[in-house]
């Protein structure tokens, strides 16, 4: 008889499941803003930017967390600054800055003597390597992000929908924009350990894109996206144990599966509106975009 | 003393790169007055509203709303309805959600909508006759209904100054009449309103004062006086030959 709870007999798997739950909820909840603001590119961008910080932290003997946090948050702020001040489109600002940070990481790594540590773990994620300390960071940062979004969800919603009128009405649009970028950066730092730099964007975009197909209300979209994210990450991790496959890849493919299920339901209802159709195509483009590495 | 005026504009110039949109604009507006702004396309009407709203910085001169720079105002002071709402019509919000956004600027972190907030939203929805549409998604609205939704959001905000950028362009006659009645009612209650329009024929019904703008102010006075003056004739000619309608 098969023991369905077999994966839970191991400490490292227990930690992995908790991390998967937090990251799934976090990424997909934040993904709502990413999809609605059409920022799909940013998940990829900030994740790649974290790599420079990870390599520098490794060289200096510092922790993954400090390196990734500094590099990712600085890149997020720089993207916002360049976009606001230099009249460069956000896509362009992201494209210029994240490739620079990623290239810096590759450059530094290529000059390192060969050693026992394989930094490429970060490219594809290593959820089974989540230690007790890492788990503490994941949970604390996850709660912090949830608190910030809980406090700011209204200005974030207003400035996502109609930034011009929001600004005229006295909403601090710049603050919302920077806060969103920083919170996204933290989300990505937490998630890179789980699914890796290359696949983070999928967890950020795919559950939210699936939710957008099924509801026309913002709060429902966020809750549904969160549920999809948790099901994909926890379910994907569980499936990867039995399939003996990469956990990051299995998690992303689970999310993709849910996305197509949502697409089928939405098509059966006969209401795949044009806009969400376009969002859907954008989302799939991102899912298939592991070509950057 | 200056704080008693709703809007004061002194020597306002706005330039976009090298293009001069406004130059040497002066006017002031007391409370409870509806000011109409007319002028040909590209005359700087919308830019003037945006400058008052704090959306474009003055290249020269000053803009004061209730005696302060627009950016220093308390949240919720200025209600603004742009000419073209450049929003994603598939964004997951209903009419009621959009109108409720009018309350957001005044809400602190974690705050929920209070009874007063909800009542302001309900009154704005009723004032624009949107009750039957309140739970519709915004993509399921006609152009006139969309316009009413955004006016309702501005009203729900309970602003101290209302700025309307061509709210009657592209809406049906019934909507226009409803907007007129609404605006006159708000003005009677003391709200200052600044509105741009192309419709000179009904200017006397809408406004207490009319300003003719073509980069600078060409005329400023009671609507019938301004319309009788030469400034209006030149503009009308210009407007008609350069496309009255968008």
Give dist(CA B213, CA B21) in Å, integer.
11
Q: Which residues, numbered 102 to 161 in chain A, qualify as contacts with chain B under a Cβ-Cβ cut-off of 8 Å? A: 150-152, 154-155, 157-158, 160-161
Q: Give contacts of B55 with chain A, Cβ < 8 Å.
A: 164, 167-168
* Average pLDDT rounded to a whole number, residues B219-223: 91
Domain total of chain B: 2
Q: Is residue B125 part of a domain?
A: yes
* Average pLDDT rounded to a whole number, residues A149-159: 94
pLDDT in tens, A197-246: 888 889 999 999 999 999 999 999 999 999 999 999 999 999 999 999 98
The pLDDT value recorded for residue B233 is 62
Of A36, A167, A168, the CB nearest to B91: A36
Yes or no, beta carbons of A169 and B76 under 8 Å apart: yes
Give dist(CA B112, CA B155) in Å, integer.
19
The pLDDT value recorded for residue A221 is 96
Q: Is residue B150 part of a domain?
A: yes
Yes or no, beta carbons of A170 and B80 under 8 Å apart: no
Alpha carbon B137 to its chain centroid, in Å, reads 24
Please check the confidence at residue A143 and state whether its pLDDT lies above 60. yes
CA distance A172 to chain B (A): 9
Q: Give contacts of A169 with chain B, Cβ < 8 Å.
A: 75-76, 78-80, 102, 104-105, 157, 159
Q: Is residue B37 part of a domain?
A: yes
Same domain, B69 and B169: yes
CA distance A35 to chain B (A): 10
Instruction: Answer whether B177's CB lies under 8 Å from B206's CB.
Output: no
Same domain, B68 and B110: no
The pLDDT value recorded for residue A292 is 31
Q: Is residue B96 part of a domain?
A: yes
Please check the confidence at residue A278 and state whether its pLDDT lies above 60. no
Least confident of A150-159, A180-189, B80-89: B80-89
| Residue B78 contacts A, CB cutoff 8 Å | yes
* Average pLDDT rounded to a whole number, residues A236-260: 93
Which residue in chain A is spatially nearest to B105 when comparing CA positions? A171
The pLDDT value recorded for residue A97 is 84
Least confident of A2-11, A145-154, B170-179: A2-11
pLDDT in tens, B113-153: 999 999 999 999 999 999 999 999 999 998 889 999 999 99
* Average pLDDT rounded to a whole number, residues A242-255: 92
Please check the confidence at residue B238 and state whether its pLDDT lies above 60. no
| A–B interface: beta-carbon pairs under 8 A | 93
Give dist(CA B19, CA B158) in Å, integer.
35
Q: Give contacts of B153 with chain A, Cβ < 8 Å.
A: 165
CA distance B9 to chain A (A): 17
In a 3-state reduction of DSSP, which class is residue B218?
A: strand
CA distance B84 to chain A (A): 11
Q: Is residue B184 part of a domain?
A: no
Same domain, B165 and B154: no
* Average pLDDT rounded to a whole number, residues B229-238: 62
Please check the confidence at residue A48 and state whether its pLDDT lies above 70. yes
Q: Give contacts of A210 with chain B, Cβ < 8 Å.
A: none
The pLDDT value recorded for residue B110 is 87
Same domain, B124 and B243: no
Of B78, B86, B163, the CB nearest to A170: B78
Same domain, B108 and B165: no
Nearest in space to B27 (alpha carbons), one of B216, B230, B207, B160 = B216
Q: Give contacts of A282 with chain B, Cβ < 8 Å.
A: none
The pLDDT value recorded for residue B240 is 47
Provide the residue ranges of all domains of chain A, joining segments of one domain with +: 6-292
Which has more pLDDT, A67 or B17? Answer: A67
The pLDDT value recorded for residue B244 is 40
Tell which of B105, B112, B157 to mutate to test the A interface (max A CBs under 10 Å).
B105
How does residue B241 score in pLDDT terms, banded at 50, 70 and 90?
very low
Instruction: Answer whether A265's CB lies under 8 Å from A214's CB.
Output: yes
The pLDDT value recorded for residue A65 is 87
Which residue in chain A is spatially nearest to B95 when comparing CA positions? A217
Which residue in chain A is spatially nearest to B51 when comparing CA positions? A168
Yes or no, beta carbons of A151 and B137 under 8 Å apart: no
Q: Give contacts of B80 with chain A, Cβ < 8 Å.
A: 164-165, 168-169
Same domain, B50 and B169: yes
| Residue B17 contacts A, CB cutoff 8 Å | no
Instruction: Answer whether A221's CB lies under 8 Å from A212's CB.
Output: yes
Fold of A6-292: ABC transporter involved in vitamin B12 uptake, BtuC (1.10.3470)
- Mode of pairing for the β-strands spanning B78-81 and B19-29: unpaired
Same domain, B98 and B56: no
Q: Which residues, numbered 105 to 164 in chain B, qualify as contacts with chain A under a Cβ-Cβ cut-off of 8 Å? A: 105, 107, 109-110, 137, 139, 150, 153, 157, 159, 163
Residue count (chain B): 246
CA distance B100 to chain A (A): 10
Which residue in chain A is spatially nearest to B96 when comparing CA positions? A217
Strand arrangement of the beta sheet that strand B193-196 belongs to: B78-81, B161-165, B193-196, B34-38, B209-214, B216-221
What pTM was estimated for this model as a whole? Answer: 0.88
Same domain, B133 and B210: no
Of A151, A169, A218, the CB nearest to B78: A169
Which residue in chain A is spatially nearest to B54 when comparing CA positions? A168
Give me the domain span that covers residue B220. 1-77+161-175+192-246
Q: Output b/e per residue, B108-122; b: 16+ Cβ within 10 A.
A: eeeeeeeeebeebbb
Q: Give contacts of A154 with chain B, Cβ < 8 Å.
A: 104, 107
Same domain, B101 and B37: no
Same domain, B243 and B171: yes
Please check the confidence at residue A289 and state whether its pLDDT lies above 70. no
Same domain, B19 and B53: yes
Yes or no, beta carbons of A169 and B105 under 8 Å apart: yes
Please check the confidence at residue A270 and state whether its pLDDT lies above 90. no
Mean pLDDT taken over chain B? 89
Least confident of A71-75, A95-99, A183-187, B145-149: A95-99
Same domain, B92 and B124: yes
Q: Which residues, numbered 175 to 214 in chain A, qualify as contacts with chain B under a Cβ-Cβ cut-off of 8 Å? A: 212
pLDDT in tens, A109-133: 888 887 656 777 788 888 888 889 8
| Cβ neighbours around B67 below 10 Å, total | 14
| Residue B46 contacts A, CB cutoff 8 Å | no
Give dist(CA A46, CA A71) in Å, integer.
9
Q: Is residue B185 part of a domain?
A: no
Instruction: Answer whether B6's CB lies under 8 Å from B33's CB.
Output: yes
Tokens of B101: 């956004």
Residues facing residue B213 across a β-bridge? B217
How does residue B108 score in pLDDT terms, banded at 50, 70 and 90?
confident
């Amino acid at each position: 008889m098969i023991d369905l709870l077999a994966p839970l007999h191991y400490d490292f798997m227990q930690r992995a499941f908790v991390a998967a739950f937090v990251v799934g909820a976090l990424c997909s909840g934040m993904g709502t803003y990413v999809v609605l603001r059409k920022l799909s590119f940013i998940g990829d961008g900030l994740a790649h930017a974290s790599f420079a910080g990870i390599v520098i932290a490794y060289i200096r003997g510092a922790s993954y967390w400090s390196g990734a946090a500094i590099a990712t948050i600085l890149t997020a702020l720089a993207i916002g600054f360049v976009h606001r001040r230099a009249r460069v489109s956000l896509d362009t600002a992201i494209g210029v800055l994240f490739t620079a940070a990623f290239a810096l990481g590759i450059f530094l790594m290529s000059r390192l003597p060969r050693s026992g540590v394989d930094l490429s773990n970060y490219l594809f994620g290593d959820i089974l390597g989540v230690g007790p300390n890492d788990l503490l960071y994941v949970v604390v940062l996850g709660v912090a992000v949830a608190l910030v979004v809980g406090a700011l969800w209204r200005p974030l919603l207003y400035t996502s929908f109609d930034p011009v009128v929001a600004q005229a009405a006295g909403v601090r649009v710049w603050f919302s924009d920077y806060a969103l970028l920083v919170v996204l950066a933290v989300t990505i730092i937490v998630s890179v350990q789980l699914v890796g730099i290359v696949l983070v964007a999928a967890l950020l975009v795919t559950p939210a894109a699936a939710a957008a197909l099924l509801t026309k209300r913002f709060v429902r979209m966020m809750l549904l996206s969160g549920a999809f994210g948790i099901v994909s990450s926890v379910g994907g991790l569980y499936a990867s144990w039995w399939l003996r496959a990469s956990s990051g890849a299995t998690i992303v493919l689970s999310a993709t599966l849910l996305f197509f299920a949502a697409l089928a339901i939405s098509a059966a209802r006969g209401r795949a509106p044009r806009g969400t159709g376009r969002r859907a195509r954008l989302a799939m483009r991102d899912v298939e975009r592991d070509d950057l590495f | 003393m200056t704080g008693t005026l709703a809007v004061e504009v002194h020597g306002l110039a706005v330039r976009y790169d090298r293009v001069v949109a406004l130059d040497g604009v002066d006017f002031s507006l007391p409370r409870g007055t509806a000011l109409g702004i007319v002028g040909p396309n590209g005359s700087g009407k919308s830019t003037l509203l945006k400058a008052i709203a704090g959306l474009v910085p003055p290249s020269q001169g000053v803009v004061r709303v209730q005696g302060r720079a627009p950016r220093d105002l308390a949240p919720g002071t200025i209600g603004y309805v742009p000419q073209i709402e450049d929003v994603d019509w598939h964004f997951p919000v209903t009419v009621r959600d959009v109108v409720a956004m009018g309350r957001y600027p005044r809400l602190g972190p974690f705050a929920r909508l209070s009874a007063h907030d909800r009542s302001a939203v309900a009154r704005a929805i009723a004032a624009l006759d949107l009750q039957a549409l309140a739970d519709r998604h915004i993509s399921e609205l006609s152009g006139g209904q969309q316009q009413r939704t955004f006016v309702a959001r501005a009203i729900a905000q309970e602003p101290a100054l209302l700025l309307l950028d061509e709210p009657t362009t592209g809406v049906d006659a019934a909507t226009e009449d409803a907007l007129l009645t609404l605006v006159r009612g708000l003005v009677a209650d003391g709200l200052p309103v600044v509105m741009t329009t192309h419709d000179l024929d009904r200017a006397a019904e809408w406004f207490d004062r009319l300003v003719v703008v073509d980069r600078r102010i060409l005329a400023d006075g009671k609507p019938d006086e301004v319309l009788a003056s030469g400034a209006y004739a030149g503009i009308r000619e210009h407007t008609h030959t350069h496309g009255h309608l968008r």
